[in-house]
Structure formats: C-alpha cells, structure tokens
Chains A and B, each alone.
Chain A
C-alpha cells in the first residue's frame, strides 16, 4: 500500500524533505519499522517513533492511516 511518511525535527534535514510517499508491504507498526530500516540506513541509525492519527504506535498495532508521522527526540532547552 502507499504510505506518506511525514518527517519532523532533525529527520526533515536528514532526509532532505518534509514528507515522501512510498509503497510498503507492512501492516503493523513494528513490521513497518523493520521494513523502513531495511530500505534506508538512516532509519537504522536514528531513534524515532511512529504515530498515526495522532497516536504513537508500536509493536503489533495495525496500520490504518495513509499518513504516518515520524518523530525523533528533541534535545534543546
């Protein structure tokens, strides 16, 4: 299925874009994480969380949205 990844924080600069639409086969949060990490080393080398419909998703939670937000931790204060 087609999925739009929306980058935030430093990931916007790391990927050079605010969002991109890719085709994935995963249907859960964990499977998507693994698929992304297989596709691009930048996902393996950075800490981030996935969110859909304004909720952090992990493990076996099913992907239901067409957009997934990718949030890295922020450090500034």
Chain B
C-alpha cells in the first residue's frame, strides 16, 4: 500500500492516516459519462476503498471524444460494466459495485444508503433533482458538477448543514428550456476539468482538509478563463420542505433518461419485438423485415393507434436523435416499453446483412 500511495503519504496533511481514511471511504458515482469517467479514474487511483457506479446507458462512438474510460471495442456495452473492468485493471484493491439501471424513485434511497459521499455525474435535471433531494433527506454530501459547451459549475451540496441544489435553483427549468445535451455539444476537455475538480472535493471531504466548496459555486469558462467562486446561502424553508415531502420525479425531459439498446445485444429473430423506423419516407437505406413499422416522426401522433401498447418496441432513425424524441412523444401518450436503438440506419443495414 505504501509504495502505491507514497506521494499521498508524503503529504503532511494526508500521511498514512489520511490514506487509511481514503481506503475506508465509500463513494457512489451517478453517471459514468463525461464527468463520471475522470471522477472514477482519479478516485480509483487515489485508493478510495469502495466505489459504486450507476449508469444504465451503453457506450456509443460519440462518447469517445470525452469519456476517457472507453475504447472503440466497448461500443454497445453497458458503461458501468466497462468502467468497472477498466478501473479494476488500474487498482485491483478497490471494491467496485455496479448498478446498470436507471436511478429512480424505487431504487434511489436504497442504493445511496450504502455510501458516504455521492458524486453527481448526471446529464439531466430529472436525476439531478432526485439525487439532490435524496442526499438532503439522507444528509449525505452531494458533489455536483455540470456543463454547458465551454462553461462548467462545481459545488458540494448538503454538506454539514450547508445549502442544497434547490437553494440555488428551487425549481427545475421548463421542458425544452435547457437543450438536450446531445444537441448542444461540449468541448471534450471540459468534463475532464470539472470531473477532476469534483474528485478533488471528494478527497478533501474524506481527508478533512482544505475548504470544501459548500455554500459556494465554482464557475469556470474555459474560453475566457473566467473563474469565480459564487456564494450561495442555505434556504431553511426549502431544506425543510425536502425533509418533509416524499421524493418525486420532476417531469423535465431535458436529456437522455431514455433506455437504449445496442445491436450487439440483439438478434433479428428475437420474437415479440416491434421495430419502428421513424425516418421520413425518402430516407435511405430502406428496410423490409417482419415486425417492422414505418412511421415518420412527423406523423407519429396521427399513427399512434397502430402502435402496440405493451409489446417491446425498438425505435430507430438515422442517428438516434429522432428515436429518442419519438420515445418522449410515445411516453407522453402513455405508450411504454420503448427503447431507442443506439445505432443508426446504416449500422442496422450492415447488422441485418450479417444476421442473414
């Protein structure tokens, strides 16, 4: 242990005692994406003893520009499972538990209960508000990070009676107000910077050193080099209402909380599956196979009566973006059991060719 962590142990503020605190720490990371990858890598390297990773999503090609734990061979695989494998090769002594599922009302409090500190690596307000409220109820620190193109924010909420995320933003934005992260883009290095700052806050909390970013919002803009620490006050009334009210999901569908499936997990002969192509009629390549319906996104609501309600539905388009919008629309109309195909039509054509 001493050789691996020698550079930590040499620090007067850490020492062997501090390294032992890291070994005993239990940290849960929600989301193994742009923020989660650097957070996880540095926490594992630092010797955090127990780590939980929650992520239902699969690796896609567009993730590789910033999600540094993954390679091209991982495309289509569950992020939490791949992350665990990669991190164990970095430090086999870290005990890693994965939760390849959506964090929701049913599992949130149970999963959080086993950990001391929670790291927010989510990319949507639904999970962020749920996580904040759950951490507030359980009085666990939430190390928050979020991004917008070239700008990032970091803070620690619910730490030693400090403010919560709702003290900063009591109510979530309206649906569609903050664009989907798939549509806006982000400079690849930014989640690296923000994630490393989140990991730093975790280490400071565990070690009990330095000034934790509680009651403060660190804001950076990597284009202008603007960097500020903004003070936030605790709002007792808001905190009290979180304590007393039941957990609930907010309805803002700002980003991907939509289940997806990869071709690598499927066979064309799978029975009881309805495939829905939501591309417009003129788009190529065209498909004909049993169980396929062609309903362009533009006429989805007009054709909704033709969609089976309970059968598993795999929705696809040219790149995956419209498939997720279609699922949003279908779920608003109470049509469940829909998953988006991670790949687009061209990959599907190649896959079908291989299957036949």
Contact = CB atoms under 8 A, between A and B. Distances in A.
Asked if A pairs with B, the answer is yes
A38 interface: no
Given A8-B219, A71-B219, A77 B173 contact: no
A54 interface: yes
Interface in A2-34: 8-10
Contact of A72 (B36, B149, B178): B178
Nearest to B252: A75
Interface residues of B, number: 44
Interface stretch (B229-237, B263-271, B272-280): B229-237
Given A8-B219, A56-B231, A77 B123 contact: yes
B192 interface: no
Contacts of A74: 146-148, 151-153, 178
A73 B178 contact: yes
Given A77-B35, A77-B181, A46 B173 contact: yes
Contacts of A9: 148-149, 151
A45 interface: yes
Interface in B137-169: 145-149, 151-153, 168-169
B47 interface: no
Contacts of B95: none
B230 A45 contact: no
Contacts, number: 91
A64 B186 CA distance: 35
A76 B174 CA distance: 16
A45 B128 CA distance: 21
B228 interface: yes
Nearest to B194: A77
Interface in A39-72: 45-47, 49, 51, 54-56, 58, 69, 71-72
Name the residue among A8, A10, A51, A74 with the largest chain B CB count within 10 angstroms: A74
Name the residue among A9, A54, A69 with the largest chain B CB count within 10 angstroms: A9
Nearest to B181: A76
A47 B177 contact: yes
B162 to A, nearest CB: 13
A56 B232 contact: yes
A13 to B, nearest CB: 9
B173 A73 contact: yes
A58 B147 CA distance: 24
Interface of A: 8-10, 45-47, 49, 51, 54-56, 58, 69, 71-77
